[in-house]
Structure 1
Amino acid sequence: MLFNHEGRPVPQVSFRIVTAVGWYELSTADFFEHKTVVAFAVPGAFTCPHSLGRTHTFLNNYQTED
């Protein structure tokens, strides 16, 4: 069953990101501040060995609103 989590805050965690000068920690508070977050998952068909063909179709049909 899917649950609607609209309006709930993003959990507070830190991402460890590697850069040219070493590791950097970025918190979700810093990353998502003043932004709207939409989280979704894609089916297993987007994993290898199917990813090249399926991702291409997904990207061709992807639309954004500016």
Structure 2
Amino acid sequence: MALNKELVDILVCPKCKGELELLSGEVGLSCSACKVVYPVKDEIPIMLVDEAIPADQWEKK
């Protein structure tokens, strides 16, 4: 089951309120302004600033 498209469309970065981009494979939501990725676990976006992973560390995984 995939993430709900309507949900993804209304989500914004909890830190800067900017737009998020759904990563391929629906494994995370990326904020280009903050340069972080919010992971998606069991089809649930984890939208907590403390759980955000810096984009450079995400790419190394």
Measured against the shorter chain, the TM-score band is under 0.3
**TM-score, normalization by structure 1:** 0.22
Greater relative contact order: 1 or 2 (C-alpha under 8 angstroms, separation 6 or more)? 2
User: More strand per residue: 1 or 2?
Assistant: 2
Q: Which protein is bigger by CA-based radius of gyration?
A: 1
